[in-house]
A and B are shown apart, each in its own frame.
Chain A
Amino acid sequence: MKFSPPSSPPTYHPSQDVLTAYAAGTLRAGFDFVVAVHIRNCPVCAAEVREVETVGGVILSELHETDMSREAMTRTLARLSQPPNEAQPASIDELLASARKRWVAPRIWAARIDTPHAAEDRVFLLGAPAGVAPAHHGHLGAEFAQVLKGEFSDNGRVYRAGDFCEANAHEDHNPRVGTSGQCVCLFATQGRLTPRGILGRIAFRLAGI
C-alpha cells in the first residue's frame, strides 16, 4: 500500500514527552515506528526532534571518557577497507507496502506491520470505509495512531490524514470514519487490541492482531 503525503499540515501531534523519548531512543519499539511516520510529514515535530537530538549531542560531548580496548583502533582500521556486509534496513515505505490485508469484519481490513516490537504489542494498519464505526474497543496499555488517509472522529475530535492520536490505558474508544471516503490508520497498541464483541475478537485474532 502506498500513501500520498497529507495535503495540509497536521493538527494533532505526539506529545512533548513522546517526542523527547523518540529522539532519545527510549520509546517503546513499534510505537516509535508510528511516530516516525508522523514526523516524516510534520516539519514542526521534525524540528522538535532535532532539538532534542541536539541536547543528546551536547550531553554526549560532555560525558567522561572510558578507555577503549588496546586493539580497538587496529581492528577498526582493518575494517575500513572491507565492504559493508550488514543488510540495509527496510524503509518506512517498504514496511508499509509489505503489510498484507486481511478482512476482520464486513468492509474492514487490518494488516500487520512487520516491525521489531514486543511480542505482546501490535503494530498494524486498519482500513474502513466512510461512515463506519470500525472497532469499538478498549486497550490495556497505550495506543498510538497515525491517520494515513481519510479521517475519523473519536471523543469529539476529528483526526485527518497526517494527524497523530495518542490514547492511554483503560480508555474506551468508539471511533467513526468520516464521510469523505475510506480511512486508513497506522496503529501501535500495547498488548492485544480488545474489540468489544466476540466476533471482533475472533477476527482480530485470526488476523494476528
Chain B
Amino acid sequence: MDATSRLHHGGPEAAELKLVPHGLVLMQVGRKSPGPTKEDSLLARIARGDREAFVVFFEHVTPRLKTFFLQRGATPSLADELAQDVMIVVWRKAHQYDPKKGGAFTWLFVIARNRWIDTLRKERPTITYGIAPPEVASEEFGDASDSLEAVEREETIREAMSALPEDQREVVRRFFFSDQSHIDIAAGLGMPLGTVKSRLRLAMRKLRARLGRPQ
C-alpha cells in the first residue's frame, strides 16, 4: 500500500497527516522511528565487504542461530556447522538485504529455515522456499503487502508476542522452533491436537490483528 492509499484508509489522524511524508506518518502516530537498527548497519557494512563488521555480526547472531538448529533437531556439531553456513549466505547476500522488506532477524530466519529444509532433503538441492526469499528479494510482490514498515512490523509483532498468554506463546514458539507437526506438539505439551490447532490459530489471529490485517 502506498502512502496515499494508507491515508485514505487511515483513522481519524489521517486527514491532518495528509501531507507529511511516509516515514513521518509513523512517527506522528506515536510509534518509534523506524531508523536503521544495529543489525541493519552491520549488514550494510558487510555488503561492502567489511570483514570487521562480519565478525561482530557473527558473534551477535550465531549463538541464537545455533539454538534454532538445535531446537529443530540438529546435533550440536551439525547446529554449529549450519549456523556457519548461514553466515556464509549472509556474507554473499548481504547486498540483497533490504530493511524495507523485512527486519534483519526475519531475513536470517528465512535463510536459516531454508538451510534446514535443504539439510532435511540433502539428497538434492531444493527449490528456494519462502516468499521474500533472501536470495531473490522479489520485486513483483512490491510493497502491496506492506501495510507497515518492515521494522515497525517486527516491533509490533514483538510486542504482540509478549502480550500473548503463555500457553499460546508456547504453541507458537514450538511450532516455529522445533521440527514438529501439530500432532507432535500436542503430544509434547500433553494436550489434544484440537487444542494446539486452536491455540495456534488464535495466537496467529491476534498477531495479525496487531498488524491491522483482516482476520
Contacts and interface: CB of A to CB of B under 8 A. Distances in A.
A8 B80 CA distance: 46
Contacts of A32: 129
A59 B172 contact: yes
A85 B129 CA distance: 20
B124 interface: yes
B143 to A, nearest CB: 10
Contacts of A64: 64, 67
A87 interface: yes
Contact of B127 (A60, A62, A63, A91): A91
Contact of B106 (A29, A57, A76, A77): A57
Given A23-B130, A68-B83, A60 B105 contact: yes
A107 interface: no
Interface stretch (A44-52, A152-160, A176-184): A44-52
**What secondary structure prevails in chain A residues at the interface with B?**
helix
A25 B181 CA distance: 11
Contacts of A91: 127-128
A141 B124 CA distance: 25
B111 to A, nearest CB: 10
Interface string A95-125: 1000000000000000000011000000000
A78 to B, nearest CB: 10
A57 B177 contact: no
A20 B213 CA distance: 15
Contact of B157 (A25, A58, A116): A58
A71 B144 CA distance: 44
A33 B127 contact: yes
A54 B161 CA distance: 11
Main secondary structure of the interface of B (DSSP, over half): helix
Contacts, number: 187
Contact of A116 (B83, B92, B110, B121): B121
Interface in B59-100: 59, 62-68, 70-71, 76-77, 79-80, 83-84, 87-88, 91-92
Interface string B158-172: 100100000000001
A25 B114 contact: yes
A64 B188 CA distance: 20
B43 interface: no
Nearest to A59: B176
B130 A65 contact: no
A58 B129 contact: no
Interface stretch (B8-16, B18-26, B203-211): B203-211
A92 interface: yes
A66 interface: yes
A55 B176 contact: yes
A59 B67 CA distance: 11
B102 A77 contact: no
B58 A60 contact: no
Contacts of A79: 84, 88
A3 to B, nearest CB: 15
A56 B106 contact: yes
A76 B125 contact: no
A72 B153 CA distance: 32
5 closest Cβ pairs, A-B complex: A47-B145, A57-B106, A65-B63, A57-B105, A116-B121
11 contacts: A51-B208, A53-B130, A57-B108, A59-B161, A59-B177, A60-B105, A76-B58, A77-B55, A90-B125, A95-B127, A116-B124
Interface of B: 51, 54-55, 58-59, 62-68, 70-71, 76-77, 79-80, 83-84, 87-88, 91-92, 102-110, 112-114, 116-118, 120-121, 123-132, 141-142, 144-146, 150, 153-154, 157-158, 161, 172-173, 175-177, 179-181, 197, 200-201, 204, 207-208, 211, 213
Interface of A: 16-17, 20-26, 29, 32-33, 36, 39, 43, 46-69, 72-73, 75-77, 79-80, 84, 86-92, 95, 115-116
